[in-house]
Amino acid sequence: MAKLSLRAVQKLTCKKRDAWWTVILVDPVATRMLIVMARFNFITPNRVTWAALFVGLGSAGFFLKGDMQSLVIGAALYHLSFILDCIDGKLARLKGNGTVFGGWLDYVFDRIRVLFCALALMGGQYLRNGDERFLLAALMVVFLDMLRYVDALQIYKMRMSMRTKIEKVTRERQEAERAAAAADGPVDPEAQQIRFMEDLLRENPEAEAELLKEQAGGAGHVVDLHAQFRHRFPWYLRVRQALLRSRIRPHLISGIEFQMFVFIVGPLIGQILLTTVISAVLLGIFELIIMYKFWLSTRDFTHVMAELAEPPSGAGSIAPHLHRGRHRRGVQGDPLSAPEFQAPPAHEDPGFQPYPEPYTSYGAPDQPAPDQQPTQAFQQLPTPAYQQMTQAYQQVRTQGYDQQAQGRPVHGAPGAMPPNHGYPGDREGVG
């Protein structure tokens, strides 16, 4: 491999923005070590990752001893382990031999190193002092480290999902517009490209968002999923631009700074428990800010999708074939005019009345009732049958009145109704 200058190596391997601990305390050492290690072909990114793990486990061994000298050596070894952890990625970018398996190996080994170092550091202090708070601190360190990286991966996954959905809907809408305007001539493909504001700001960190939107072709071609956050916190862009001039990302307390404070700063100053608590609180605050920013981004996503989604022309209307209802399908006109809904003839049901009279109250048998008189259908019967039916009818009604006078309920007697039944809504008829 040809000899490269320090500036060229830094430009090829250093990220455009990184944690402030990495930019200030790691990259100046890592790039110089990388120039030497890149000359040897047997040094691969995966082997550097394994070396970082072994050095980290060595720092955990010194942490377990618990004395001040061992804590200082353990802190130095942990920092060297983190430098090697940064070199493996830089070496992969420099030689172009990075693999997906190498990225997974780096992530898993980082979690193993944090786990062993947290248990060793806090466990060593517990064995020396007997303070049970160190055991709780160990659990807190492991939990926050896992939460930080799991949350970061999940937020990244959801952001990519939102971008994919926006691109899909935009592509479908553009295809529909292109098909509708096919007769007007070809459509310029450059005018249909969609850009995301976060990509534009990443490529041009010091540029203004509105200027980048105009240069990209107007507001219709740029999707901004952080518009609400910048609108609520306009000072954020100025702080971000000032930090990015030094390659420092605005996320000042991330998982990297949390680890460095717990495993390096705390042991060096002899205040492990206090440093752990303070760094945990700062990490929690920045994580809440990230969650809040992501929540605003989801609202921007919903707004963008609502603008891109074009409702159908018949949305909100009832289809013509549903106006009649499923139970009226095939029935023309008034369904009640069908023969099966008509009143039966008199000879089929002599006592049938389409609209029965309301119930009335009768206090004694001698009071006449409107329906006590024989109906016209009965009068049309032959004379012997008419007289026999009239006598039976009067006998049943008389028995009903006798039972009503004695206070017993009457059930089933034709025409004999309780005296407290009146017209619907009649308060006088309610007992």
pLDDT beyond 90 at 309: no
The Cα 193–Cα 58 span in angstroms is 52
Asked whether the whole model's pTM tops 0.85, one would answer: no
- pLDDT for the residue numbered 363: 46
E strand spans, 308-411: none
Q: Which of 26, 86, 16, 31 is nearest to 245 (CA)?
A: 16
Comparing 191-205, 267-281, 343-357, which segment has the lowest mean pLDDT? Answer: 343-357
User: What is the pLDDT at residue 182?
Assistant: 66
Lookup result for tokens 């949350």: 151
Least confident of 113-122, 391-400, 408-417: 408-417
- Dihedral sign computed on CA atoms, order 50, 53, 55, 58: negative
Higher per-residue pLDDT: 423 or 269: 269
If we measure between CA atoms, which residue out of 74, 156, 137, 146 comes closest to residue 281? 137
**Mean pLDDT over residues 194-203, rounded?**
79
What mean pLDDT do residues 84-113 have?
Answer: 92
Percent of the chain with pLDDT over 90: 41
In this prediction, residue 150 has a pLDDT band, given cuts at 50, 70 and 90, of confident
Q: What's the farthest any 2 CA atoms get from each other in the chain? A: 133
pLDDT band at residue 430, thresholds of 50, 70 and 90?
Answer: very low
Residue 406 or residue 165, greater confidence: 165
User: Could you report the per-residue pLDDT of 237-256, keeping only the tens digit for each?
Assistant: 888 888 888 899 888 899 99
Identify the band that residue 186 occupies on the pLDDT scale cut at 50, 70 and 90. Answer: low
- Residue 364 pLDDT: 47
Tell me the CA distances in angstroms from 89 to 34, 44, 58, 394, one per residue in order: 10, 10, 22, 108
Beta carbons of 195 and 223 less than 8 angstroms apart: yes
**Three-state secondary structure call for residue 196:** strand
pLDDT (average), residues 149-173 = 89
3-class SS of residue 310: coil
* pLDDT for the residue numbered 407: 53
Closest CA to 369 of 413, 406, 424: 413
Between 257 and 207, name the one with better pLDDT. Answer: 257
User: How high is the pLDDT of residue 333?
Assistant: 55
**C-alpha to C-alpha distance for 241 and 245, rounded to whole angstroms:** 6
Calculate the average pLDDT of the chain.
78
Average pLDDT over residues 207-221: 66
The whole-angstrom distance between residue 319's C-alpha and the CA centroid of its chain comes to 34
Q: Which of 59-68, 157-166, 311-320 has the highest mean pLDDT?
A: 59-68
Answer whether residue 268 shows pLDDT above 50.
yes
Residue 173's pLDDT is 81
Instruction: Find, among 104, 152, 157, 118, the residue nearest to 251 by Cα.
Output: 152
pLDDT digits (tens, 9 = 90+) for 347-403: 555 555 555 555 544 444 454 544 445 555 545 555 565 566 667 666 655 665 555
Q: Say if residue 273's pLDDT is above 70.
A: yes
Place of tokens 């899909």: 168
